[in-house]
Amino acid sequence: MIPWRIRTVRGPRCPLTARRRVIGSRDRRSRLAWSASSRASRSLARRDRACSSSRAGLGRSRSRRGAALVEGRSRVTRVELQHGGFLLFHDPFLSPDEASAAFAALLVEVPLRQETIRLFGKSILQPRLSAWHGDPGASYTYSGLSLLPHPWTPALSVLRARVEEAAACTFNSVLVNHYRGGDDSMGKHSDDEPELGQDPVIASLSLGARRRFVLEPKKGGEKVTLELGEGNLLIMAGTTQHHYRHGVPKQAGRGARMNLTFRRICGVTRP
């Protein structure tokens, strides 16, 4: 039983024309915002081939750095990064009720566990719980850890449909991270493994406690810090993974949080 309704319809019942009509009826600012996304919408027709930011149509922008745009109920802020990276921050994306229902469902459905990884030649326990889900064949390896996907659960499938529509791009896997409290964290890293392809689009959905998210350029320069709160969606695109590391530092006193990073493993045939 899924405690919220799917507002995204897949396949032929989700025609691009309907999407364009909605976009066309918005104000000029919003239409500008969607100039990148209309290319992205076209890419939905090629959904099974979309793998990178440029193929997904998210590669170019006409909007200003940090420009705030209104898309449906969601406020979308676009942040330009160095060398062609960019972020799209949807706040809110899920309502508080949807977010807390999703959190509760995921705690029951997802087999969260503490994994051991290799870092600087040493085996260490990750400071959080995690689980990898996806289409058959969507395996993922990072920090010496090779993950075979668990199948999509009902809640993950609903959330994937919602996120795919917002990102105008398809995902065949998701890494679920559960931060049990403020002592759990994620070290700085890039999602730049070869199986993600060049310039991957990574869509990160946050549930539960608000946490600080830091992006730092690999070759020095201005850091970007965001507060990721309940129901926010952060899309990292363009060359972000190539030029930046990101992480979630410890933050004393914070409660439990769940984060879902939807990804596309290249070369996997959609079932």
Binding residues (CB under 6 A) for ligand AKG: these are 175, 177, 186, 191, 204, 206, 213, 228, 246, 248, 259, 261
Closer to ligand AKG by Cβ: residue 162 or 178: 178
Q: Is 172 or 177 the residue whose CB approaches ligand AKG more closely?
A: 177
Using the minimum distance from each CB to ligand AKG, give the nearer residue, 137 or 229.
229
Closest CB 10 distance from ligand AKG, rounded Å: 24
Q: How far is the CB of 16 from ligand AKG (least distance, A)?
A: 30
Q: What are the backbone angles phi and psi of residue 9, rounded to the nearest 5°?
A: -110, 135
Nearest partner of 130 among 143, 120, 116, 119, judged by Cα: 116
Tokens describing residue 75: 């406020």
Q: Which is nearer to ligand AKG, 23 or 234 (CB)?
A: 234
Q: How far is the CB of 170 from ligand AKG (least distance, A)?
A: 18
Give the nearest residue (CB) to ligand AKG: 259
> What is the distance between the alpha carbons of residues 139 and 128, in angstroms, rounded to a whole number?
20
CB of 139 to ligand AKG, least distance (A): 16
CB closer to ligand AKG, 55 vs 246? 246
CB of 27 to ligand AKG, least distance (A): 31
